[in-house]
C-alpha cells in the first residue's frame, strides 16, 4: 500500500524523438480540424498532420483518446472543481453546482463528454477515468458524511447517468432539459427523509 512517489526504474528506452514530434503534430492538426468541424475524420487529421494514418492510430488508438488528450486541461479543471466544491460547500449544493458545470463544459466544447463516453465504453486508461471517478466520489462522500446523500453509491453509476447529458439533442430546449434531468439524478442520489 505504499504510495510514495518513487523514481520509475529507468525503463529500457525512452520515447523516440520522432514519435514525440509526430504526436505533437497530430494534436495540433486535430485541434485545427476539430475547430472547423467537430466530426472531422481521423484520416483527414492524419493527412493534415503530414503523417500516416497508422501513426495517428498508434498514438491515439481511438477518436476519444485523441480528443481526451486535446481537452486534457479542461477535464482537469472539472475534476479539480469537484474537490474544491466538496471541500468548501454544503454537499448537496456542491453536487448541484458541479453537475451544472459538467453540463456546461460538455455542451460547450466536448472534452468532458468524450471522457464520459470513453469511460462508459470501458476503453479508457486510468489516467483520466480514475480521477474523474474520484471527483464524483469526493462529492458523494461529502454528502454521505453529512447524511444528505445515500452512502455507498457507486461513482461509476453516477458517471453513467451523467452520460445521458451528451445525448440530449442540441437545440433551444437543450439546456432546460439538461437541468431537469440533473434534478432527477440529484434527487435519486439524496437520502429519502
Partner DNA sequence: GAACGTACCGGAGGCCCTTCCGTTTAGCAA
Partner DNA sequence: TTGCTAAACGGAAGGGCCTCCGGTACGTTC
Contact residues toward DNA (CB under 7 A) are: 12-19, 22-23, 41-44, 50-55, 57-59, 61-63
**Contact between 96 and 119 (Cβ < 8 Å):** no
Rule CB under 8 A: is residue 147 a binding residue for a second copy? no
Which of 50/188 has CB closer to a second copy? 188
Rule CB under 8 A: is residue 76 a binding residue for a second copy? no
**Contact between 158 and 136 (Cβ < 8 Å):** yes
Which of 5/169 has CB closer to a second copy? 169
Q: Which of 3, 36, 126, 187 binds a second copy (CB under 8 A)?
A: 187
Find the shortest distance in angstroms from Cβ 141 to a second copy.
17
When CB distances are held under 5 to 8 angstroms depending on the partner's kind, the choice from DNA, a second copy, none that residue 96 binds is none
79 grid coordinates: 475534476
Find the shortest distance in angstroms from Cβ 45 to DNA.
8
4 grid coordinates: 510514495
**Contact between 102 and 159 (Cβ < 8 Å):** no
Rule CB under 8 A: is residue 122 a binding residue for a second copy? yes
**Contact between 81 and 101 (Cβ < 8 Å):** yes
Using the contact rule CB under 8 A, the part of the chain among 40-48, 97-105, 126-134, 158-166 near a second copy is 158-166
128: exposed, middle or buried (Cβ count in 10 Å: 0-12, 13-18, 19+)? buried
Find the shortest distance in angstroms from Cβ 135 to a second copy.
18
Q: Which of 121, 130, 145, 147 binds a second copy (CB under 8 A)?
A: 121
H-helix segments, 16-166: 17-36, 42-49, 53-59, 63-70, 72-88, 91-108, 111-120, 126-146, 155-162
Region of residue 125 (phi > 0: left; psi between -120 and 50: alpha; otherwise: beta): beta
Interface residues toward a second copy, by CB under 8 A: 120-122, 153-154, 157, 160-161, 163-164, 167-169, 177, 180-181, 183-190, 192-193
Amino acid at each position: 500500500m505504499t504510495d510514495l512517489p518513487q523514481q520509475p526504474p529507468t525503463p529500457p528506452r525512452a520515447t523516440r524523438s520522432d514519435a514525440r514530434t509526430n504526436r505533437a503534430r497530430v494534436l495540433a492538426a486535430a485541434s485545427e480540424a476539430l475547430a472547423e468541424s467537430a466530426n472531422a475524420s481521423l484520416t483527414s487529421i492524419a493527412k493534415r498532420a503530414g503523417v500516416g494514418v497508422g501513426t495517428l492510430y498508434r498514438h491515439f488508438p481511438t477518436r476519444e483518446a485523441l480528443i481526451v488528450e486535446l481537452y486534457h486541461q479542461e477535464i482537469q479543471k472539472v475534476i479539480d472543481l469537484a474537490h474544491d466544491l466538496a471541500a468548501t460547500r454544503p454537499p448537496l449544493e456542491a453536487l448541484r453546482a458541479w453537475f451544472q458545470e459538467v453540463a456546461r463544459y460538455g455542451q460547450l466544447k466536448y472534452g468532458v463528454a468524450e471522457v464520459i463516453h470513453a469511460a462508459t465504453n470501458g476503453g479508457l486508461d486510468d489516467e483520466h477515468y480514475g480521477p474523474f471517478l474520484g471527483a464524483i466520489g469526493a462529492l458523494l462522500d461529502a454528502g454521505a458524511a453529512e447524511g444528505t446523500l445515500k452512502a455507498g453509491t457507486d461513482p461509476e453509476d453516477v458517471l453513467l447517468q451523467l452520460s445521458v447529458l451528451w445525448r440530449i439533442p442540441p437545440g433551444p430546449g437543450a439546456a432546460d432539459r439538461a437541468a431537469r434531468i440533473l434534478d432527477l439524478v440529484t434527487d435519486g442520489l439524496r437520502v429519502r427523509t
